Structure 1
Amino acid sequence: MILRPRILFIANGGPTVGGGHVMRSLTLARALAQHGADCVFLAAPPVAAILDAFGPEMGREEAVSLEPAAIVRGAVGMQFDAVVFDHYGLSRAEHDAIAAGRPAMVIDDLANRPLGGALVLDPGPARTETDYAEWIDGARLLLGPQYAPVRPEFAALREQAIDRRGGPVRRILIALGMTDVDGVTSRVVDRLRQRNGEIDFDVVLGSGAPSLPGLARVAAHDPRVNVHVDALNMAELTLAADVAIGAGGSTVWERCTLGLPSALVVLAENQWPAAKALAEREAALVIDIAQGDFDAALDRVSVKLVKDAACRARLTAASLELCDGLGAERAAEAFLEVLSAGAKGRR
C-alpha cells in the first residue's frame, strides 16, 4: 500500500441537505488518518462551514459547488490516490469519472441508483445484499450499523452509559439536525417544556438554524433550556441525557452506541427505511414530521419516554445491541485493504 495515501472525500452538505454526510465522512476520514492516510475534502462553501466548526484540522480542496457536473470538472487534475463519496446526487457515471481507476468507496443509504467503487457502505439496519444487486458491479458491501461511522468518543463512553441508564428522566436531549428543517427544533422544545415542568433540556443545533434566535430568547428566561450551538461535546451530552428526541440521520447510531432511549423524528422520506427497521426492533419510537397530527404524536411518544420505565429499558437494550460505535474503524480497515490490494496489483 502507498505509505501515506491521499484520500479525497466528496460529501454533500448545506441548508437543504444538512450536515450528516459531512459529519460521517469526517469520522471515517479521522479513522483513516489514524492509519496514516492524508484525507482532504472537496469543500464548497457549505461543506467548508461545517469543517470550520467540526473539522478545522482537515485538509481541503476548494470547490465552487457540489453539483454533479461541477464536481466532475473540479476533480480533473486533483492529486489523490483514492476517493470516498457521500453524495446522493452522484451515481456510477460520476463515481467512475472522478475515481478514474483509483480505489473508491461509496457511502449510501438509498440503494436506488447504479454505484461505482470497490466498496459500498450502507449502515441501514434492514439493508441486505439483494437491495444492491442491480446497482453494483462487483463491489464489496459493508452493510448494517456495525459499519456506521460513529465518532470514537461515543464508544469510549459506552460502558459508563450502560451503568447510568434506567433511572428517572431528569434531562432530555433534543437534537434534530444542524440545519433545523422548517424550524422543527423550536416546535418540539416549546411543546415539551410546557408539559414537563421539572425536566431540563439540552437543545443542539447549528449556528444557521432558523430556531436559534427564538430558542436563545427562551433560554434567557427559562433555566431549564440549555442551547448548544455547533456542539463539540455531543458524546457528553448524549451520556448525560436520560431520553432524546432526535433526527433520523447518522446521529441515530450515536444514540444507539450509548443506549439512549429515543424518539426518532423522520424529517425526510429517505429516512423511513432505517426508521421502520429501528421501530420494528424496538430500538426507537418513531414519529413523522409530515404527519397531520405531529403535535399529538409528539405528546404521545414524549409521555411514553418520560413515564414508562419498561419502555425505556427495552429501547436501551435494543439500541445497544444494534450498534457498538466501532464502525468507522471497521470501514477504514476495509478500505485500506482495497488500497493495499490495488497497490500490489500495480507492481
Structure 2
Amino acid sequence: MKPFTDVLIITHGGPSVGGGHVSRCFALAEGFASLGVSVKWLVNDHAVEMLAGRGIDGERITAAENPFAGNVPPVGLLQGAENLRICVVDSYEASPAFWAKLKGMCKTALIDDCRVRPVERECDILLNYNLNASSLGYESGHAGLLLGPGYALLRKGFWELAAGEGDTVLIIPGASDLLNTGGQFTDWWKGDWPKAELILGPLVSASLAEEIAARSRKLKNLSAVRDPADLPERLAKSRAVICTSSVTSYEALSLCKPMAVFQTAGNQLEIGREIEKRDLGVNLGPWGQWGVPELKHFLENLPPPPKRAVNPRGALKAAEELLKRAR
C-alpha cells in the first residue's frame, strides 16, 4: 500500500529568513499528528536541518532550494499525494500567482502574521494567532479566519507544561539571531546582574555559538547553550525571559513568565507593542534603539507574572479547525 498524506506543509527557514516559519509549522504538525493525521513537508535545506533536529523522518520531507521559486506550486508532489486534505503554507514569498495555482489543486491554508497584502483573498483558510491579529484589517467573506492566541502554535512540550520557579533569566534571541544580539548581550552582561542563560538557536552557526559560549564563561553569572532539547523545561523553571516578540514570546506567555521583548524584524514590531499595551510584558523596542540602561531597569524592576493570555494547546485547536474547514 502506498503511503498517504493528509496534509502538505510548505515553508522555509534560514539565516536570512529566520526560524519562526518552521517552528510554528512544526507545532501545527504536532497538532495534526495528535489527531492521527499524516503530514509531509516541502522545505528548503535549512528547514530540513531544523526538522531533522526535531525528529522528523527524512522520508516525510522533500527539499527544494526555494519552494516558492517561479511562482509555481509543487504540482508533482500534490498530484502524488493520496488523500490530501489541505496544503498549509507559511511564507511571505508565496505570490498571488503561486496561490492561484495552488488553490486550483487543493484546499489551502496560510499561516500569517502581518498581512503584507490582502492575503485573505488568496487562500481558503487564514490562521494568525498573534495578539494583534484582529486589528490587521482582514476582510470577511473571503478566507475562513482563525485569529488570536487561542490558536497559538506552540510545540507539544508546552501543552501540559506547568510553570515552576527558578533564579535564572533566559535570554532567547531567536532561531537564527539575525543581528547577532547574543554576542551583544554577552558583552553587556554585568557581574552583579542576575544569573542568566543565553539560548542560541539552531540556525546560529556552531562556531559562532562556541565563540559566544567561551566569552560568556568569563562571567560567573552567564552561560550560553545552543538549541537545547529541553528548552520548554528551562523556560518553565526560569525567573524571567528576554526574547524577541516572536514564537518564543508566546511560549513564555503560556507559562505566565515576567518578560521583556525586543524586535529584530519588522513583523515583530506590532506584536511587541501589543504585549506592552496588554500589560503582558515590557517592550524594549527595536534592536539598536535601547541598551544597557533599559536592560538594567527591567532586571531591577521585574514586572509581575502576566495573566494567562495564550492557549498552550492552540496548535491542537488549530489543527482540528483546519481539518474541519477543509472538508
What is the aligned partner in structure 2 of residue 337 from structure 1?
A: 324
Decide whether the 8 Å contact of 1:5 with 1:36 is kept in 2: no
**Structure 1 residues 130 and 254, CA, compared in 2 at 3 Å: closer, same or farther?**
closer
1:89 maps to which residue? 93
Secondary structure class of the residue paired with 1:49: helix
Give the structure 2 partner of residue 17 of structure 1.
17
1:128 to 110, 115, 134: 134
Q: Deviations over 1:287-315 (max 9, x none)?
A: 1244444333223223222xxxxx2x2xx
Confirm whether residue 249 of structure 1 aligns to residue 250 of structure 2.
no
Deviates more, 1:328-337 or 1:6-15: 6-15
Aligned mates of 1:333, 1:29 — CA distance in 2: 11
TM-score, scaled relative to structure 2: 0.88
In structure 2, what is the equivalent of residue 344 of structure 1?
none
Q: Could you list the per-position Cα deviations for residues 35-94 of structure 1 after superposition, in whole angstroms to 9, with x for gaps in the alignment?
A: 22211111211111111222433610121224x334625x02113312101101114431
Q: Post-superposition shift, 1:207?
A: 4.6
Can you give the 5+ residue segments of structure 2 that lack an aligned partner in the other structure?
A: none
* Residues 212-250 of structure 1: per-residue CA shift (max 9 Å, x gap): 133221344445333221222111010111001111111
C-alpha distance in 2 between matches for 1:36 and 1:4? 12
How far the C-alpha of 1:176 sits from its partner, in A, is: 0.7
> Within the alignment, does 1:328 sit opposite 2:315 as a pair?
yes
Structure-2 residue corresponding to 1:104: 108
Which residue among 114, 118, 121 is the counterpart of 2:124?
Answer: 118
Is 1:184 the counterpart of 2:171? The answer is no
Distance 2:239 2:134 in 1: 32
Greater mean alpha carbon deviation, residues 32-41 or residues 285-294: 285-294
8 Å Cα contact 1:203/1:226 also seen in 2: yes
Match of 1:156 in 2: 160
Where do 4+ consecutive residues of structure 1 move more than 4 Å? none
Match of 1:52 in 2: 52
Distance 1:246 1:130, change over 3 A: closer
**Identity value in percent:** 24
Conservation of the 8 A alpha-carbon contact between 1:129 and 1:141: no
Q: What aligned pairs does 1:201-240 form with structure 2 within 5 A after superposition?
A: 201-209=196-204, 211-240=208-237
The secondary structure found in structure 2 opposite 1:77 is helix
Looking at structure 2, the residues matched to 26 and 334 of structure 1 have their Cα atoms a distance apart, in angstroms, of 17
Question: Would the aligned equivalents of 1:83 and 1:102 in 2 still touch at CA under 8 Å?
Answer: yes
**Match for 2:66: what amino acid?**
S
Deviations 1:239-272 (A, max 9, x none): 1110011111111111001111110011112111
Q: Is it true that 1:317 corresponds to 2:288 in the alignment?
A: no
What residue identity is the alignment partner of 2:306?
A
- Flag the structure with higher helix content: 1
In structure 2, relative to structure 1, the CA distance for the partners of 1:4 and 1:69 (3 Å cut) is closer
Q: Answer yes or no: is the 8 Å Cα contact 2:171–2:242 preserved in 1.
A: yes
- The answer to whether the Cα contact below 8 Å between 1:150 and 1:328 also exists between their aligned partners in 2 is yes
User: What is the identity, as a one-letter code, of the residue corresponding to 1:49?
Assistant: E
Structure 1: how far apart are the matches of 2:174 and 2:143?
Answer: 31
Give the C-alpha shift of residue 31 in structure 1. 1.0
- The 1:30/1:246 distance shift into structure 2, 3 A limit, reads same
The count of aligned residue pairs is 315
Per-residue deviation, residues 323-346 of structure 1 (Å, max 9, x unmatched):
03111011100111123x2xxxxx
| Contact kept in structure 1, 2:186 and 2:215, CA below 8 Å | no
Matched, 1:76 2:75: yes
TM-score after normalising by structure 1: 0.83
